[in-house]
Structure formats: C-alpha cells, structure tokens
Amino acid sequence: MKRYYMIVTGIIILLMSACKKEGELVIKPIRSAQTLNFRGFVLGDTLEQYFDGRKLREFYATSFYNGRIVFDKEGPVLMELKRKGDNKVLYSKNIEQDAAATDKPVSFYYDGVEVKEKYSYPEAIPGIEQIAFYFDFPSDMPADIVYGDASGDVNSVQYLARNVQPKQWVDFLKIPPLDGQELYVFLLKAGKKEFLIDNNFELSYLQANLPLKDGYPGGGVQSLYFRYVDNNGTKGFQTENLVNIFPR
C-alpha cells in the first residue's frame, strides 16, 4: 500500500515543482531612455562595439550613431570597443542612467594601435593650408600626390609627395597659396606619368582644397582619408576629413 502512496506523492511533487507561472520577459521593460551620440574614426582594423557584453556594431573608418540608449536594468550600461581580430578590449565606458551624462557625444579615434578619445591635429596657421593624407588602398597601389589644372596633362603637374605607401599617413603638408585659379589634387602611379586609377583623370581625382592666390586663401587644416572602392567595376574614392569628425 505504501508503494501506491509513494507513487501518488511523487507525481504530485513532480507536477507542482514543474509549475512556474512567470517566465522571464524576452523584451525587457524599458526603465528609461536617453539621448546618446557617438562618433569616431577607425583606421587600420575593424573594431566591434559591445553593450553589456552583447555585440552591436562593427566600425571601420567613419563611425557614428545618433539616437538613444535604453536602460532595462539598474545601473549603467557598459560600452566596449574590441579589436575584431583578437577580441581585445581597447576601450570601455560606463554609460550612466542620467541624461546629463550623455548629453555630449562619445568620441573615439583608433589609429590601428590604441583607442583615444579624440584625434589630434595641428592648430591652424593663417595663410597656410595644412593637409594630411591617408590612403586606404591595397598594398600594391603606391602613389604620387600631385596637383594641376583641369587639363589632365600629367606632364604639367606639381608634386606634393612621392611614392606614398598605402595605409600610412602623409603628415600635414604646409601649403601656401598657389598660383592658378582652379587646381586639382590627384594621384599618379608612383614614379610614373600615369593616373593611378585606369589612367583616368576623373577617377584619380582627390577631394582636397588647395589654397589659391586668387581664390581660397588657405589657413585651414585637412586630415584626409581616402578609401579605394571597386564595386563591380565602379571605381572611386570614399573620402573623409577627420577634422570634421573631431572638431575642436
């Protein structure tokens, strides 16, 4: 007889232990939401952005987000930037549940080695244009940086830098106002009188402002990043001016 009651009791215990009415909400209730902007620039590698250990985004070159952050638990949210290759944490920041804490954008600059909160560039010099170049090109695309008029005559160009290797900064060139009314910066194959991309002036042209005696007087600072893109035969450069991303 005992056996029967043991069975009954066992069943009841098992069934009762299985009853769980409340589960865990899959979409966590939002306690608060506040504005959060971040902007940055990533060179030389890809960074991964994590929030509370959950990967959200990958950053390469220009990186920004303008929106809001939600808080669904007590305490701050931990933001981390990790290097994609080895998952090493390069930057972390606790974002507090306080609107005042996020009213300024989160800024970061990765130079391929470390993450800094801002990008450094020289002070402006009146009348002198300071331009730095970085070419995010395949390693077999060294180039000469030249300028000239719209004629596209490679034999009449002036050189700003020669044999510039991809993925290396050309430090700030100090350029005084130049003669001419309309001058263009473009790239030649290193050591050759040949436009870099398909020997085509239009494709090899860079968006860079040169100071002119009869035009733009200079005095600005430009930190120019160019990324070569070949999208199914559609070739060109993506351009960023890091000075615009990191204003003083």
Residue numbers of the site for other proteins (CB under 8 A)?
1, 4-5, 7-8, 11-12, 14-16, 18-27, 29-30, 33, 36, 38, 51-52, 54, 56-57, 65, 67-70, 77, 79
What's the min distance (Å) between Cβ of 58 and other proteins?
11
Tracing tokens 């490679």 back to the chain, one arrives at 154
Contacts of 238 (CB under 8 A, 6+ apart): 61, 226, 227, 229
Q: How far is the CB of 8 from other proteins (least distance, A)?
A: 5
Long-range contacts of residues 213-216, Cβ cutoff 8 Å, at least 24 apart: 213/177, 213/178, 213/179, 213/180, 214/180, 214/181, 215/181, 215/182
Nearer to other proteins, 68 or 174 (CB): 68
3-state secondary structure of 16: helix
Is residue 42 packed enough to be buried (19+ CB in 10 Å), middle (13-18) or exposed (0-12)?
A: buried
CB 89, min distance to other proteins, A: 17
Least distance in angstroms from the C-beta of 4 to other proteins:
5
Nearer to other proteins, 91 or 226 (CB): 91
Q: Which two tokens stand for residue 46?
A: 């890809």
Nearer to other proteins, 14 or 100 (CB): 14
Distance of CA 40 to the CA centre of its chain: 5
Shorter beta-carbon distance to other proteins: residue 106 or 125: 106
- Residue 7 or 113: the one with the smaller Cβ distance to other proteins is 7
- State both tokens at 30: 């939002």
CB of 103 to other proteins, least distance (A): 14
Neighbour tally for 86: CB within 10 Å: 7
Least Cβ distance, residue 106 to other proteins (angstroms): 9
Nearer Cβ to other proteins, position 29 or 247?
29
